Structure 1
């Protein structure tokens, strides 16, 4: 675990672009929670952000036989997941959540991940607590609390989509087998009850949300035809936009991820025929081919995208954007105008999806990244709301067809219910 005293400004200077983009996402968010405060009308105790009561600890299950089929983490260790069995009316319902953790785009950055939980099950916590969308508490998770719930660990660095021959780096071997990890974990879960699911929701955060988009239709095909199967991607709508210096930094980065890890084999063939394969990794292109009902949760001012897609350090040599990236309240009027343009780009990218009759969305105006995995942003008295609905309520309404859900917030700073990250 990161040192609680480590300040976000320190890791910002120390790690720079490669970690900020290559191994960021959910990982940087977790690190930030250790070293930052949350800003609202009143201060919030960080100890209550993700846990409102003492949840049970859920054991890690490894797949040792996965090695026989080549389904291994970057370092060759077996992949894993955490399973909490459902009960009562939820015994035949399943909710899967793929954790996030960014991507790696070079042999060096992928090698660095091998000594972390993002590249090796040897470094994963053997027990984790479930909260937010994975909680078994009805007050925290009203629609899914008694379902079978699975947290899928993320250890391939390519959104469970890599499929390349092994590569040597400094005398050691890297394994790019994310696609095989996905298949092995699905086979395992099918054998322990998923095959009998009557309802199922595949979800994920950040890079795990992108994995959800990539594998959504595959997931539908694995389950009984009569089952209700849907997908939910949280903070996964990464934009194919130029940064503040006019460079396509994220497109270049995705190009390298796809090339080094063989991701193109996991992307939709129709998209690959139309454009360069790395562009097909962007959600705007992925969702065009998804047939399974899909829900998108995304902040219009996703701090990770502002920090790494819109204004990466490489595009801001004089640190004009630094204070703004650490606290949206520090942004000057010209920066706010650019942020509003970034929000418009998101809504434009979602314009076709807004007319998808089976789709749902919750686009709020918060400076945050993932929101489904924490109690206080998923469903609590203090949760962000649009139209007086929490994210959990909106997702539940959509999943159970209680109403159509296409929630788009007004522009910042209009929503007083937002939780906005503040980096120290």
Structure 2
């Protein structure tokens, strides 16, 4: 909790790019262009359907030119081939369905409404793997053509951002919401280790805590579900070793088991009453991921 408190000072208020290996989608006025990381395909770092990963990038300026905010999109998980196949037909599993979008909130470019981060290099990593960016299975399912490569996607995008200038970051914040908030926790120390030792690095998880409890039938639905996610996506090797050295991989998909092992300052934001999670944890048949 001391680490979380240390992050509070940072979080009290909360362009077209053409580079070799990229395809950049055109955008409306106000939208932030999306970078299709075509070069990642050769590394087999792809979405569930095999399409290239995507991120949105707004370059920093002035005093924020060497500061980086990397935000990971959320969107639940898929725990079997049927659920993952559904995602192939939308932007949760394929970049073919992704479109340019505008930045707001912690990613916003207005000094008035986002005074701490408005002029930082701001990045939104799109979520198309269904495993909170932890999957890495070499074999592609023949019948479904599903690629479980979430960790490779994260690595490829972070590698590209480092080459773009993040390797010289003075300040950096890794953030995410929901499944992306969980990813911010799972990748927090790894993110810290990739940046300069002199950089001030912190992580921020928005709605990334999920309850490990019994549902209304008396079963541990979430625990079973997470175990299926971890097994399907081959996530075990990409979860924090600080946790998996003590607990089973599926238990290290729960942030409450990972946070005590982190070295990097972390700020946590979770609603006191989360209607989606109450249903997901207590009445799982109601929620469709």
Relative to the length of structure 2, the TM-score reads: 0.86
Which residue pairs with 1:153 in the alignment? 126
Aligned equivalent of 1:122, options 96, 100, 125? 96
- The CA distance in 2 between the partners of 1:280 and 1:184, in whole Å, is 23
- The CA distance in 1 between the partners of 2:135 and 2:114, in whole Å, is 33
Question: Cα distance, 1:288 vs. partner?
Answer: 2.0
Q: Is residue 2:79 matched to residue 1:105?
A: yes
Question: Cα distance, 1:304 vs. partner?
Answer: 1.6
Q: Deviations over 1:112-157 (max 9, x none)?
A: 11111111111111x1100000001122112111111000001110
CA contact (8 A) 1:264 1:277 kept: yes
Aligned equivalent of 2:274, options 289, 292, 302? 302
User: For the aligned residues, what is the CA RMSD?
Assistant: 1.6
CA contact (8 A) 1:55 1:130 kept: no
Relative to the length of structure 1, the TM-score reads: 0.59
Aligned equivalent of 1:275, options 235, 244, 247? 247
Structural mapping, 1:357-372, within 5 Å:
none
Which residue pairs with 1:75 in the alignment? 49
Aligned equivalent of 1:247, options 209, 219, 229? 219
Which residue pairs with 2:138 in the alignment? 165
Aligned residues: 260
Q: Is residue 2:249 matched to residue 1:286?
A: no
Question: Cα distance, 1:313 vs. partner?
Answer: 3.1
- The CA distance in 2 between the partners of 1:235 and 1:106, in whole Å, is 24
Question: Cα distance, 1:241 vs. partner?
Answer: 1.1
Structural mapping, 1:119-268, within 5 Å:
119-125=93-99, 127-168=100-141, 171-268=143-240
- The CA distance in 2 between the partners of 1:304 and 1:286, in whole Å, is 22
Question: Cα distance, 1:269 vs. partner?
Answer: 2.8
CA contact (8 A) 2:55 2:124 kept: yes
- The CA distance in 2 between the partners of 1:68 and 1:208, in whole Å, is 25
Name stretches of at least 5 consecutive residues in structure 2 with no aligned partner.
1-27
Aligned equivalent of 1:64, options 38, 48, 53? 38
- The CA distance in 1 between the partners of 2:140 and 2:45, in whole Å, is 15
Q: Deviations over 1:224-281 (max 9, x none)?
A: 1111100000000111111122210100100100111101111123433433321110
Structural mapping, 1:306-317, within 5 Å:
306-313=278-285
Name stretches of at least 5 consecutive residues in structure 1 with no aligned partner.
1-53, 315-324, 326-424
